[in-house]
Amino acid sequence: MIDFTPWPAEFARRYRERGYWQDLSLGEVLGRNVALRPDAVAILCGERSYSYAELDRQAERLAQALLARGLRAGDTALVQLPNVAEFYVSFFALLKIGVAPVNALFSHQRLELSSYAEQLQPRLLIAAAGHGLFGDGAFAGELRGLAPALDTVLVLGANGYADELSALLTIDADGDAPAMPAQPSAPSEVAFFQLSGGSTGTPKLIPRTHNDYHYSVRRSAEICRLDEATRFLCALPAAHNFLLSSPGALGVFHAGGTVVLALDPEPLRCFELIARHGVTMAALVPSAVALWLQAAPGRRAQLATLRLLQVGGASFAEALARRVPEEFGCRLQQVFGMAEGLVNYTRLSDSDEHVYTTQGCPMSADDEVRVVDLDGAPVADGVSGMLTTRGPYTFRGYYRAPEHNARVFDADGFYATGDLVQRGADGYLRVVGRVKDQINRGGEKIAAEEVENLLLKHPGIVQAALISVPDALLGEKSCACVVLSDATLRPVTLRKFLREQGVAEFKLPDRFQILDRLPLTAVGKTDKQTLRAQLHTAAAAVA
Ligand code: OOB
């Protein structure tokens, strides 16, 4: 069994009684429609189309191939794929045999992947040759050094993406008859791991159980009114919680609709896909919406079938929100969620004011939200405070991180999200800021401490602080404020130094600010608030 922090028994009992936890495998989101509508189109990926039956058949064959190689329930996997159908094939294959993957983002590099391998000790790696690290076997070999149990490596070929997977499937699984009984893990156990945006040094893993995730998918699909006519454009990373379960691809599979894959949210290609496949719904981060708004004039006809645009992952400016219905001809839904659990939606029946000015309310009647001050005491409605939460699909602990867990969970099991919110009397939340030390770069989360620690490895850097600076498109960009002992160091050298350490490109500081010293708080920590204000004033003086 894979380690995770279970919900206390009285909560588990309540969540079952209320029908949230149905003791089904997460794979049932697909299984249901394999039985009900096998020939309906589940995925459109480039020129390839997968029916529900075909998607399930491929997942079954991969599952068999992996069983034949000795993979067993309770094992773990590291998966890194771009937005291609094979992502879902492997996701469902692993669910069938009880192997729990962490699905790394395609932008993740050596440092992130190494950290996941070290934490999870996977037996299986599924990666893509199209990623710079997997063009040859060298990095997979390095990972094996960190995770000695890693004995099966499956690298999808760059030419004809499915080549190698097909080869493996034909060699190991002759015909469709299951050679070995595939046994998913128990519904109360870990189905897979989500990734935390994090605020500390190491990226954390979030165990998600079948029961909790299945519920979040079903409830999200219901709130978003998905049905078999839904054609959902997945143009952000498929593994991200937003695109996987809010309601995301799993919600669409549960409802019997179609997922249309795009490699990224580039507007012209996405508009073409929308027109070509009659896409009815899409999910974007605010910075992508801004690009779509720029590209939409004169192309409105391509968006004729679009009914709902979900926007989440970062703060969405009210002025942009108000433009969505008019310029895209569709309804807007704000989504405020997190990989750890809690997801808030504005509802399709909400007033325009709610949709434009709030980030929605929790999806479940049993999501408990406490907005608290620095001492942990609840604040009044309308007053800013820190959002803490517990509920039927909010996790109870990061994977093997007892010290961190002790800091972010209170005695009642409420998780401190690190977000500053105001709650209205109607339960709707507005996100007004953040207490966690994180930069939200257009929805991509950067843990300040992680980058600071990497910078501090440079012998010419004495102090480092990564802070956010406002950006018109991304909302926030990152600025590394550094104190140098070597005055000849230039940003280009520092950026190169970071890149050589194998960190994802989006974590490289957009700016460097060289300072004589960093402002300190009374207890001697870097005073980031003052630092941000200083930079702001300096920028204003230049402008
Ligand atoms: C989603 O998940 P994560 O884990 O990448 O990031 C969660 C954090 C939140 O704690 C908050 O700081 C920020 O991202 N965030 C928003 C937001 N949605 C997320 N901040 C302001 N407004 C919003 N609408 O980002 C995520 C997971 C599921 C659904 C949607 C987003």
440 pLDDT exceeds 90? yes
542: confidence class by pLDDT, cuts 50, 70, 90: low
Mean pLDDT, residues 105-119: 97
> Residue 349 C-alpha to ligand 1 middle, in angstroms?
22
Task: Report whether residue 385 contacts ligand 1, using a CB cutoff of 6 Å.
Answer: no
Q: Report the nearest atom of ligand 1 relative to the CA of 194.
A: 4
500: confidence class by pLDDT, cuts 50, 70, 90: very high
163: confidence class by pLDDT, cuts 50, 70, 90: low
- C-alpha distances (whole Å) from 333 to each of 65, 127, 284, 286 are 41, 33, 10, 12
Task: Check residue 192 and give its pLDDT.
Answer: 98
540 pLDDT exceeds 80? no
CA distance 533 to 521: 14
pLDDT greater at residue 314 or residue 158: 314
DSSP structural state of residue 7? P
Task: Report whether residue 194 contacts ligand 1, using a CB cutoff of 6 Å.
Answer: no
Q: Report the nearest atom of ligand 1 relative to the CA of 340.
A: 4
- C-alpha distances (whole Å) from 306 to each of 230, 245, 274, 279, 330 are 10, 20, 7, 6, 6
DSSP structural state of residue 543? -
Alpha helices (runs of H) in 45-109, residue ranges in sequence order: 52-68, 85-97
H/E stretch holding 126 reads: strand 124-128
Tokens of 494: 């520092």
> Residue 433 C-alpha to ligand 1 middle, in angstroms?
12
20 pLDDT exceeds 70? yes
532 pLDDT exceeds 60? yes
171 pLDDT exceeds 90? no
> Residue 241 C-alpha to ligand 1 middle, in angstroms?
9
- Residue nearest to ligand 1 atom 19, measured at CA: 313
- pLDDT tens for 349-407 read 999 999 999 999 999 999 999 999 999 999 999 999 999 999 999 999 999 999 999 99
DSSP structural state of residue 323? H
DSSP structural state of residue 409? B
- Ligand 1: residue of 245, 336, 357, 417 to mutate (most ligand atoms within 8 A of CB) is 336
Task: Report whether residue 445 contacts ligand 1, using a CB cutoff of 6 Å.
Answer: yes
33 pLDDT exceeds 50? yes
Task: Report whether residue 441 contacts ligand 1, using a CB cutoff of 6 Å.
Answer: no
Q: Which amino acid, 370? A: R
Q: Of 446, 388, 437, 377, which is closest to residue 413 (Cα–Cα)?
A: 388
Domains 28-35+52-184 and 211-434 share a fold: yes
Task: Check residue 218 and give its pLDDT.
Answer: 98
Mean pLDDT, residues 112-120: 98
> Residue 65 C-alpha to ligand 1 middle, in angstroms?
36
- 52 contacts 37 by C-beta, under 8 angstroms: yes
> Residue 343 C-alpha to ligand 1 middle, in angstroms?
8
Task: Check residue 125 and give its pLDDT.
Answer: 97
> Residue 206 C-alpha to ligand 1 middle, in angstroms?
15
Task: Check residue 65 and give its pLDDT.
Answer: 95
- 434 contacts 419 by C-beta, under 8 angstroms: yes
Q: Which ipTM score applies to this complex?
A: 1.00
CA distance 145 to 219: 42
User: What ranges do the domains of the chain cover?
Assistant: 28-35+52-184, 211-434, 438-542
160: confidence class by pLDDT, cuts 50, 70, 90: very low
- As a CATH number, domain 438-542 is 3.30.300.30
> Residue 248 C-alpha to ligand 1 middle, in angstroms?
14
434 pLDDT exceeds 50? yes
257: confidence class by pLDDT, cuts 50, 70, 90: very high
pTM of this structure: 0.96
- pLDDT tens for 205-218 read 999 999 999 999 99
Task: Report whether residue 334 contacts ligand 1, using a CB cutoff of 6 Å.
Answer: yes
Task: Report whether residue 315 contacts ligand 1, using a CB cutoff of 6 Å.
Answer: yes
- 333 contacts 346 by C-beta, under 8 angstroms: yes
Residue 268 backbone dihedrals phi, psi, to 5 degrees? -65, -40
Q: Report the nearest atom of ligand 1 relative to the CA of 417.
A: 10
- 498 contacts 446 by C-beta, under 8 angstroms: no
265: confidence class by pLDDT, cuts 50, 70, 90: very high
Task: Report whether residue 478 contacts ligand 1, using a CB cutoff of 6 Å.
Answer: no
> Residue 346 C-alpha to ligand 1 middle, in angstroms?
14
> Across the beta sheet with 152-156, what order do the strands follow?
152-156, 124-128, 76-80, 100-104, 190-195, 205-209
Task: Check residue 161 and give its pLDDT.
Answer: 45
536: confidence class by pLDDT, cuts 50, 70, 90: confident
Task: Check residue 158 and give its pLDDT.
Answer: 59
Task: Report whether residue 415 contacts ligand 1, using a CB cutoff of 6 Å.
Answer: no
Task: Report whether residue 280 contacts ligand 1, using a CB cutoff of 6 Å.
Answer: no
Task: Check residue 326 and give its pLDDT.
Answer: 95
41 pLDDT exceeds 50? yes
Task: Quickly tell me which residue has 């870990």 as its tokens.
Answer: 190
Task: Report whether residue 431 contacts ligand 1, using a CB cutoff of 6 Å.
Answer: yes
Topology of domain 211-434, per CATH?
Rossmann fold (3.40.50)
- Residue nearest to ligand 1 atom 9, measured at CA: 338
H/E stretch holding 215 reads: helix 210-223
159 pLDDT exceeds 60? no
Q: Which amino acid, 482? A: V
Task: Report whether residue 489 contacts ligand 1, using a CB cutoff of 6 Å.
Answer: no
The CATH class given to the 28-35+52-184 domain equals alpha beta
Task: Check residue 523 and give its pLDDT.
Answer: 87
Peptide bond connecting 247 to the previous residue in cis, omega within 30 degrees of 0: yes
- pLDDT tens for 311-325 read 999 999 999 999 999
Enumerate the β-bridge partners of residue 469: 477
511 pLDDT exceeds 60? yes
- pLDDT tens for 187-235 read 999 999 999 998 887 789 999 999 999 999 999 999 999 999 999 999 9
- C-alpha distances (whole Å) from 295 to each of 291, 348, 403 are 6, 26, 47
Alpha helices (runs of H) in 229-360, residue ranges in sequence order: 241-245, 248-255, 267-277, 286-295, 318-328, 352-357
- 117 contacts 78 by C-beta, under 8 angstroms: yes
Handedness of CA 225, 227, 229, 231 (dihedral sign): positive
The β-bridge relationship of strands 281-284 and 258-261 is unpaired
526: confidence class by pLDDT, cuts 50, 70, 90: very high
CA distance 474 to 444: 9
> Residue 105 C-alpha to ligand 1 middle, in angstroms?
16
Task: Report whether residue 417 contacts ligand 1, using a CB cutoff of 6 Å.
Answer: yes
Task: Report whether residue 339 contacts ligand 1, using a CB cutoff of 6 Å.
Answer: yes
> Residue 312 C-alpha to ligand 1 middle, in angstroms?
6
Instruction: Print the SS3 string covering 472-538.
Output: CCCEEEEEEEEEECCCCCCHHHHHHHHHHCCCCHHHCCCEEEECCCCCECCCCCECHHHHHHHHHHH
Rounded to the nearest integer, the mean pLDDT of the chain is: 95
> Residue 458 C-alpha to ligand 1 middle, in angstroms?
32
> Residue 308 C-alpha to ligand 1 middle, in angstroms?
19
> Residue 262 C-alpha to ligand 1 middle, in angstroms?
21
Mean pLDDT, residues 482-507: 96
